[in-house]
A and B are shown apart, each in its own frame.
Chain A
Amino acid sequence: MTDVSVVVIVYNDADRLPAAVRSVLGQSHRDVEVVIVDDASTDATAGVADALAAAEPGRVRVVHRADNSGGCGQPRNDGIAESRGTYLMFLDSDDTLDQHACRNMVAAAEEHEAELVSGCCWRVYPDKGEESAWYRGVYRERGVYASVRERPELLYDTLSTNKLYRRDFLDREGLRFVERLHYEDLLFSTQAYLAARKIAIIPHRVYNWMIYENAETLSITNQRAELRNFADRLEIFRRIDAVYVRYGADDLKLSKDVKFLNHDLLLYVRGLRSRDREYREAFLALAREYMATIDPRAYGEAHELQAIIGFLVARGDDEGAVTAADYVGKGKTGKPRLTAPLVERDGRIYWSCDHLDTEEGRRILDVTELGIHSLPLKSLNPGGRVTGMARAGRELRLSGDVVNPLNRIRADAGLSARLEFRDRSRTGRFFAVPAEVTLAGGRLRWRARVVPGRDVRPLGFVDQSWGLRLRLKAGEDELIIRLFGDDPMDVSVPVRPRLTRLAGDHFEAYVPESGEMAFRLVAHGRAGRVTLATLRRLTATGRGRRWWTALLRAERRWRTVFTRRSTKLAVYNKILIRLPIRRDTIVFESHLGKQYSDNPRYIYEELRKSGAHHTAIWSYAKNPAGFPKDARLVRRGSWQYYLALARAGYWVDNQGFPRDAVKRPQTIYVQTWHGSAYKRMGFDEPQVKRSTRAQRDRFQRTVDRYDAFLIRSEHDARTLAKGLGVRAELIRSGYPRNDPLVNGGDTTELAEELKLTGDDRKVVLYAPTFRAGPGGKALKRFEMPFDLEEFAEELGETHVLLVRPHYLNAAVVPPSLRGVVRDVTAVHDVTSLLLLADALVTDYSSLMFDYALLDRPTILFAPDLQEYARSRGTYFDLRREGPGPVVTEPGELFAALADLPGVAVRYAERRRGFVERYGEYDRGTAAKQVIDRFFTGGRDA
């Protein structure tokens, strides 16, 4: 008896069938057989299959079906009937098995006596040279389960092909594929999961699912077929529900319903955008009928936006559902796009202004927690449309609109815009023309005229497709808005590719799969028609296609290599640093370019005041808004950035320039650092302590680039500088950012910005330290350790709370609390916040050291003090030496805040001692000392 039978089903796929069969015969586990089931192919498949069988008699057999089944179910069942193995697997003719698939699965089946073994399927894109694991989360590690209930997420992987089944198990349960319905995999795998008495999971790659890029086609998919698919899918789901009931697993229905919302429905709703009314009505009818059977709890467990999609579909609001689907985003390819205007009601943000009349509607549509209302304008990503397109001679007149979510884009900000044609296969290449914008009726309307023959010059052949986008300037902010085309418009206009008319002569409007409005290069003239047709014919043949994709891939690879960080670093370290140095240039950076703030900022401002003739260059990470206008700005990580670093006479920063960038000996690196240390740093940190010698050497090398290191006290020298392994000169100047804390500073502007002018409530700054998630990465959303509503209720009359999480974390403040709580994450400069605040609440942030200089009350709200100290390690005891009381309960915190004068008095002594110990060098002259020492004193300090 054979160990494994692999059933390979095939229909009109003579080219690829041999590769599939070879992947089985080439298994490291040799005891396998292949059963090919030819579903009445009309091409050469039957002959190819017979030849394969003849070449390996005894290992390959063929079943020829008399008539085509139109699906996968019947052929697979025929294969099962024909197979003789102890175990069964299924393979499609265009896919392959991993070399060790059978060995790993058989080993797992035998070791654990499992009836069903499932391994990781990889999706392979041969044209792009890319691949990715399918449901990696399920296949992270091996596992054995007596029932799928122990691991319900297995149900997410509904493929039947990446699995090994015991044959006697299939027979015992009467398990076969359903026939004459699509999505037979879903039902089959669900039944298998539920019926198996033991399931083994292995993380090994077992199956290669080959996905070939489709040449982009205009053809609108057959709508009727799509609806039939959807109906089939729903029918399969109904049958799955029945299966659950049969196996007494009704509880699994909820998780399937959640998946339906999270995944299936989303997929179809995305497709609705380009569908007509008739289709939509039919779709809604099918969907609503099915959704009546969904467990209402599914809405609570599904992702926020997906729940909204489900809710809106169930209410027949397809327009609303489509907008929610737009904001889900599609992995790498599509960013979330905000096409709904949103509404604010009673201090909460809702997805839509309709359906808010029921409690359920308000609950599901409430998207306050997404934090859209406090996103920076640049990250808002509003969706735009092209609504009008007309040709006048050689000119194209375009118009459209953009949603204005929560009216965040303001007319008084000064709006201007350009319409851009971007090369869809290359980032960063575009042609632009001016556009008019106006705000009207809650939308932004735009209009532009373009003569493509003059304004847009494609190369030809390699850049066939051009998308539309709008670059909108609103004050200092710049938004790039993709423009989508809901209806394909039948317009074409002359254009002149650089590679002459042979490459095409017209731009033809079309809407590609991504939904954006685009133009493609077509040929109306004879010359182009011939060359383009030839090219198409060439690329349709096997060799031509390989040649063409190789060419495109080479170009793409060259581009990614050119823009890669490692390339830039290599060029920097080998070539750029040999360029002549410019002694007078200074590169400034604060917090990896995320802000214009902290010590580098105050040094820069002092430098400007001193009148020294230096060229200042500021590095910014993403958005140049907020950075000084009188400095040269370079984007962190760009070629200009590396060039600037290479040639600079000085580097000034508070955290770290790219760590593998060599610093030239002639360049002077002033490392200001960004705060004194409470928690252990550098080599004193467990994470660094455990690292390998190579990692430590690397760490030390980055630190050894410093020429000067600013400190605020001898405590810094003993802890921070020693922990980081600083061997540079210690500059005992104190921090430039703290000069205003000693000398006093002006906060009227900030108070105005925060609408606090004339407000006589106490201003409390809440600035907790950095929080990492389980993986060590920054937590995207910071969970407030006390209830903001409660704060508002108890202290809202007398206090205003400014919330500022660490710059790598973010918090959400609901608009209803706007009067009492302000999110000040976006304020670059923390010094002015400290000046403004009447009291500081923090846990372990280094701001406590700076704030102590103001001699105002500080409350250390540290619910996890013990755990934090234990896991991170600290340099002193916060309870004994901290500049204020340590509290661990929100109640205590509120009580302390209610009695700020009392705290001020009781801890006056402590604060004085704290400043003496930890801030002895902060005397208000730090910036000047640094300037005198490095920039206005002798050359080469």
Chain B
Amino acid sequence: MRDIFIVCNNLEELGGLQRWAHHVGRLFAERGHRVHLIGVTHAQDRHDYGRDLPYDLTVLHEVPPPDRRKGRLREMRRRAVQRQGAARLSRMFRAARPGGVIIAAQVWAMEWVALADTADMPVIGMSHESYQATKTSSRYERVKRHFADVHRFLVLSTEDADSWARDGMSNADFMPNPLHVTPTVRPDLSRPVVELLGRLSFEKGQDMMLEAWAEVRAGFPEWRLRLYGAGPDEAALRRQAEDLGVTGSVEFRGTTADVEGALNEASIVALSSRVEGFPMSVMEAMAYGLPTVAFDCAPGVRELITHESDGLLVRPGNTMQFAEQLARLMGDEGLRAKLGEQARSSIQRFSAEMVMDRWERMFALVDR
């Protein structure tokens, strides 16, 4: 039994990272650990992650700390605020019993952990996106700076860990997301519905999905594409659907709380993202025995899906091939059943049990 501190940017947003934090918090607690989830600040839009949680929730800054901006005075003020938050962290860390660990789940949150007194506990850093995604963003320099000296730096897949190791992060290792759903129903794969769940945003690539859809639609008049989720690109996507003349077969369904209900009506799940980490929507689909067509946009995707065995992978951005593979699945119920069945069993590699065991081994290792 350990004190486990999980420090994130915030714990309230509706996002993959937050879902992950609450999920592993619960799993650690179930294993008898004392879990402290810590958000640096509040989110703007707060999602309800439930009551009577089996772990503590702390927010360091009620008012969001100032952003990094030019100007020496501003920077001094920012630092002062940051130090206050870090002091709160230090108090929590010092109160921990021996054997505790600190998990800095995001690089921004790590800035606070770095300033705090960790009371000799090992610090585990994490990045929840692919190496390539970090590499092309402003986070890259910060990850290399702030996570250089943590005891372990965890990313989502072996391939990402190897990329970081090659890039000089000799503390890099991997820790997949644990499977977070336990299906109670089983889609029968006969309904002519393709679903895509995700924020309507450039990153999720629904624009490419629509292009591909425009190519396959002609051959499959009875099929529908359902886009679940809301987001900044909604208007543009509706316009694009109109330009492509596919409005009749594309349904914008908005956000849903009932993922199981939605998946139960699908026969195929699509992932058209430009960037991903270890996509939960694919894990969900696989757990429900649904075949997935996905752009091979991140190591996490290929770690989950084995092409032609439990899903279909397409070269990123190649909408023609995406359309081709969709059409293959739409026209072949046998293939859907075969891939879906395989998906259901292969996703168990990432069952909560397996992943939590890996975490325990990781904790034991950093103690030595």
Residues of A within 8 A of B (CB): 3, 28-31, 98-101, 103-104, 106-107, 133, 136, 139-142, 202-206, 685-695, 870-871, 873
Instruction: Report if A206-B159 is in contact (Cβ < 8 Å); known contacts: A30-B368, A690-B316.
Output: no
Does the CB pair A204–B170 fall under 8 Å? Answer: yes
Chain A residues contacting B165 (CB-CB under 8 Å) are: 202-205
Does the CB pair A871–B166 fall under 8 Å? Answer: no
Q: How far is the CA of A142 from the CA of B320 in the complex (A)?
A: 34
Instruction: Report if A205-B170 is in contact (Cβ < 8 Å); known contacts: A29-B368, A690-B297.
Output: yes
In the complex, the chain A residue whose C-beta lies closest to that of B362 is A107
Does the CB pair B317–A689 fall under 8 Å? Answer: yes
Q: How far is the CA of A107 from the CA of B173 in the complex (A)?
A: 10
Does the CB pair B171–A100 fall under 8 Å? Answer: yes
Does the CB pair A204–B136 fall under 8 Å? Answer: no
Does the CB pair B166–A140 fall under 8 Å? Answer: yes
Most chain A beta-carbon neighbours within 10 Å: one of B137, B165, B208, B320 = B165
Query: In the complex, which range does the number of interface residues on chain B fall in?
Result: 20 to 34
Q: Is B315 an interface residue (CB 8 A)?
A: yes
Q: How far is the CA of A908 from the CA of B151 in the complex (A)?
A: 73
Does the CB pair B365–A691 fall under 8 Å? Answer: no
Instruction: Report if A28-B151 is in contact (Cβ < 8 Å); known contacts: A141-B159, A690-B297.
Output: yes
Instruction: Report if A871-B170 is in contact (Cβ < 8 Å); known contacts: A202-B165, A690-B297, A694-B136.
Output: no
Does the CB pair A103–B320 fall under 8 Å? Answer: no
- Picked from B158, B295, B320, B366, the residue with its CB within 8 Å of the CB of A873 is B320
Q: Is B202 an interface residue (CB 8 A)?
A: yes
Chain A residues contacting B202 (CB-CB under 8 Å) are: 693
Q: Is B172 an interface residue (CB 8 A)?
A: yes
The B163-183 residues at the A interface (CB cut-off 8 A) are 165-166, 168, 170-173
Q: How far is the CA of A350 from the CA of B136 in the complex (A)?
A: 48
Chain B residues contacting A142 (CB-CB under 8 Å) are: 158, 161-162
**Would you give the shortest CB distance from B169 to chain A, in whole angstroms?**
8
**Would you give the shortest CB distance from B134 to chain A, in whole angstroms?**
12
Q: Is B321 an interface residue (CB 8 A)?
A: yes
Q: Is B318 an interface residue (CB 8 A)?
A: yes
Q: Contacts A106-B365, A688-B317 given; 17 further ones with Cβ under 8 A?
A: A103-B365, A103-B366, A139-B166, A140-B162, A142-B158, A202-B165, A686-B315, A686-B316, A686-B318, A690-B205, A690-B297, A691-B274, A691-B317, A692-B136, A695-B136, A870-B324, A871-B321
Instruction: Report if A101-B170 is in contact (Cβ < 8 Å); known contacts: A203-B165, A686-B319.
Output: yes
Q: Is B304 an interface residue (CB 8 A)?
A: no
In the complex, the chain B residue whose C-beta lies closest to that of A141 is B162
Most chain A beta-carbon neighbours within 10 Å: one of B162, B172, B208 = B162
Q: Is B329 an interface residue (CB 8 A)?
A: no
Chain A residues contacting B320 (CB-CB under 8 Å) are: 870, 873
In the complex, the chain B residue whose C-beta lies closest to that of A30 is B368
Instruction: Report if A31-B162 is in contact (Cβ < 8 Å); known contacts: A98-B170, A873-B320.
Output: no
Chain B residues contacting A3 (CB-CB under 8 Å) are: 368
Q: Is B29 an interface residue (CB 8 A)?
A: no
Most chain B beta-carbon neighbours within 10 Å: one of A101, A686, A690 = A690
Q: Is B275 an interface residue (CB 8 A)?
A: yes
- Picked from B158, B172, B208, B366, the residue with its CB within 8 Å of the CB of A689 is B208
Does the CB pair A99–B208 fall under 8 Å? Answer: no
Most chain A beta-carbon neighbours within 10 Å: one of B158, B173, B202 = B173
Chain B residues contacting A695 (CB-CB under 8 Å) are: 136
Chain B residues contacting A870 (CB-CB under 8 Å) are: 320-321, 324
Does the CB pair B318–A873 fall under 8 Å? Answer: yes
Q: How far is the CA of A690 from the CA of B168 in the complex (A)?
A: 27
**Would you give the shortest CB distance from A63 to chain B, in whole angstroms?**
26
**Would you give the shortest CB distance from B80 to chain A, in whole angstroms?**
32
Chain A residues contacting B172 (CB-CB under 8 Å) are: 204
Q: Is the interface of A mostly helix, strand, loop or mixed?
A: mixed
Does the CB pair B168–A205 fall under 8 Å? Answer: yes
Q: How far is the CA of A29 from the CA of B152 in the complex (A)?
A: 11
In the complex, the chain B residue whose C-beta lies closest to that of A111 is B361
Does the CB pair B136–A871 fall under 8 Å? Answer: no
The B309-338 residues at the A interface (CB cut-off 8 A) are 315-321, 324
Q: How far is the CA of A688 from the CA of B319 in the complex (A)?
A: 12
Does the CB pair A203–B274 fall under 8 Å? Answer: no
29 contacts between A and B (CB under 8 A): A28-B151, A28-B171, A98-B170, A99-B170, A103-B365, A107-B173, A133-B166, A136-B166, A139-B166, A141-B158, A142-B158, A142-B162, A203-B162, A203-B165, A203-B166, A204-B165, A204-B170, A205-B165, A687-B317, A689-B319, A690-B295, A690-B297, A691-B274, A691-B317, A692-B136, A692-B274, A692-B275, A694-B137, A873-B320
Does the CB pair A107–B365 fall under 8 Å? Answer: yes
Chain B residues contacting A688 (CB-CB under 8 Å) are: 317
- Nearest 5 pairs of A and B residues by beta carbon: A690-B317, A686-B317, A689-B317, A690-B316, A686-B318
Chain B residues contacting A31 (CB-CB under 8 Å) are: 368
In the complex, the chain A residue whose C-beta lies closest to that of B368 is A31
Chain A residues contacting B274 (CB-CB under 8 Å) are: 690-692
Does the CB pair A100–B170 fall under 8 Å? Answer: yes
Most chain A beta-carbon neighbours within 10 Å: one of B151, B208, B275, B317 = B317
In the complex, the chain A residue whose C-beta lies closest to that of B207 is A689
Chain B residues contacting A141 (CB-CB under 8 Å) are: 158-159, 162
Most chain A beta-carbon neighbours within 10 Å: one of B171, B297, B368 = B368
**Would you give the shortest CB distance from B313 to chain A, in whole angstroms?**
13
The B57-84 residues at the A interface (CB cut-off 8 A) are none
Does the CB pair B297–A104 fall under 8 Å? Answer: no
Does the CB pair A871–B159 fall under 8 Å? Answer: no
Q: How far is the CA of A766 from the CA of B320 in the complex (A)?
A: 30
**Would you give the shortest CB distance from A566 to chain B, in whole angstroms?**
16
Q: How far is the CA of A692 from the CA of B276 in the complex (A)?
A: 12
Chain B residues contacting A687 (CB-CB under 8 Å) are: 317
Q: How far is the CA of A16 from the CA of B158 in the complex (A)?
A: 36
Q: How far is the CA of A870 from the CA of B319 in the complex (A)?
A: 10
Residues 328-368 of chain B, each 1 if its beta carbon lies under 8 Å from chain A, else 0: 00000000000000000000000000000000000001101
**Would you give the shortest CB distance from A319 to chain B, in whole angstroms?**
42
**Would you give the shortest CB distance from B78 to chain A, in whole angstroms?**
25
Q: How far is the CA of A204 from the CA of B318 in the complex (A)?
A: 33
**Would you give the shortest CB distance from B174 to chain A, in whole angstroms?**
10
Chain B residues contacting A104 (CB-CB under 8 Å) are: 170, 173
The B260-318 residues at the A interface (CB cut-off 8 A) are 274-275, 295, 297, 315-318
**Would you give the shortest CB distance from A150 to chain B, in whole angstroms?**
18
The B185-231 residues at the A interface (CB cut-off 8 A) are 202, 205, 208
Q: How far is the CA of A685 from the CA of B165 in the complex (A)?
A: 32
Chain A residues contacting B366 (CB-CB under 8 Å) are: 28, 103
In the complex, the chain B residue whose C-beta lies closest to that of A99 is B170
Chain B residues contacting A28 (CB-CB under 8 Å) are: 151, 171, 366
Q: How far is the CA of A696 from the CA of B318 in the complex (A)?
A: 16
Q: How far is the CA of A142 from the CA of B136 in the complex (A)?
A: 24
Chain A residues contacting B295 (CB-CB under 8 Å) are: 690
Instruction: Report if A871-B158 is in contact (Cβ < 8 Å); known contacts: A99-B170, A100-B170.
Output: no
Q: How far is the CA of A693 from the CA of B202 in the complex (A)?
A: 7
Chain B residues contacting A99 (CB-CB under 8 Å) are: 170-171
Chain B residues contacting A692 (CB-CB under 8 Å) are: 136-137, 274-275
Q: How far is the CA of A101 from the CA of B171 in the complex (A)?
A: 9
Chain A residues contacting B318 (CB-CB under 8 Å) are: 686, 871, 873
Q: How far is the CA of A837 from the CA of B237 in the complex (A)?
A: 49
In the complex, the chain A residue whose C-beta lies closest to that of B149 is A99
Instruction: Report if A871-B315 is in contact (Cβ < 8 Å); known contacts: A202-B165, A689-B208, A694-B136.
Output: yes
**Would you give the shortest CB distance from B8 to chain A, in whole angstroms?**
24
Chain B residues contacting A106 (CB-CB under 8 Å) are: 365, 368
Chain A residues contacting B173 (CB-CB under 8 Å) are: 104, 107
Chain A residues contacting B365 (CB-CB under 8 Å) are: 103, 106-107
**Would you give the shortest CB distance from B136 to chain A, in whole angstroms?**
6
In the complex, the chain B residue whose C-beta lies closest to that of A32 is B368
**Would you give the shortest CB distance from B270 to chain A, in whole angstroms?**
15
In the complex, the chain A residue whose C-beta lies closest to that of B358 is A111
Q: How far is the CA of A590 from the CA of B291 in the complex (A)?
A: 49
Chain B residues contacting A693 (CB-CB under 8 Å) are: 202
